[in-house]
Structure 1
Amino acid sequence: TESYTAALYPHYRDLIHPVQTQAAFGEGGPADMPAEIALSGKRSFFGRHPFDNRAQGLLVGSDATRVANHHAGRNAPSRFITCFSLAEVWRYYDSAPVTLTHEWSGTPGFTTDEYPVVGRLDGRNMWIIGGMCGSGTAVSFNGARHVVTRVLGMDDDCDDYPEAYFAPTRLLDPENHPWPELEMV
């Protein structure tokens, strides 16, 4: 629900912003494009993915356009963006047919600095795991471990989200945030 943060709690509308993103997968694509190397630029990302159980495919995606808070959760893939992303592939590799098999979009939550926010939201009992910039599925379990160990008062010798770097106060109240002390050499 991270992209819904502002819709659920308007007080935190400047903490996490919903952005519209999308991707598409298709079979085929340029023969001269190497597998397992993803490329990303200002306008799109793309990569060739080999699979043992089906034809090789091409993954393309684009966009991280900020949308209004009430559009969080609105999924609306744009065929224009898919075609534009494919054209970006052809700027670097041979033009080749692609048969689209999947197209999807979503509204992940982004923070202004594009780093996750994990920790106490209200200084008491409200916690947040968010701002994963679209990678929440891969890393949110570590954020959950951080929160659960704090709620239960357990030691966590593998803290992936130290307060000095990831607490909500770094964005909500930077002047009073407990920033890390760094030794400059």
Structure 2
Amino acid sequence: MINRIEKEIVLPTLKGMSDARTPFEGILYPGLILTKDGPKILEYNTRFGDPETQTYMRLLDTDILDIFAACIDGKISDLEIKWKKNMYACNVVLVSKGYPGVYEKEKIISGIKEAEKQPDIVIFHAGTKVVRQDLTTNLTTNGGRVLGVSAIGDTLEEALKKSYKAIEKISFEGMQYRKDIGKSALNKI
């Protein structure tokens, strides 16, 4: 599927930009939908996707600053971008009650340090805020998407298990998350 997306969507887009004398170097994030007729483009963004980036950055084996520098210098085609081999990643987003609509804020978050002690876990902060009151400092919720719990593993199943195990350590009032992340991919492997 990746090859088809590259061949049918990404490369023709880049060629069109080049033909129009507006070549593109940088982050191009295509928003896609898979239909019965194949992948279709919904939108392009010239930024990283969130929360998708938290997953694929875990698999990147080339220093991201080298990639940025190559883009700035117009030499991205000279850089070999490497990915970790035989590795899978996932990211489960913890959200506030009410998200994506009206959601609650300033709920105290606990357990992040314990979750980060789990092997191969990285916690990405999104809607969090440090609140200092008197002699107390708390990390609280401050957005709909609160945290991303990312894991890597030798298999997708292993990465998912690690992520959900780390989530068990984290809590805040109204915390919600999907329990089906990666399930459809597991069924296809």
Sort the TM-score into its range (normalised by shorter chain).
Answer: under 0.3
By relative contact order (CA 8 Å, sep 6+), the higher-ranking structure is: 1
TM-score normalised per structure 1: 0.27
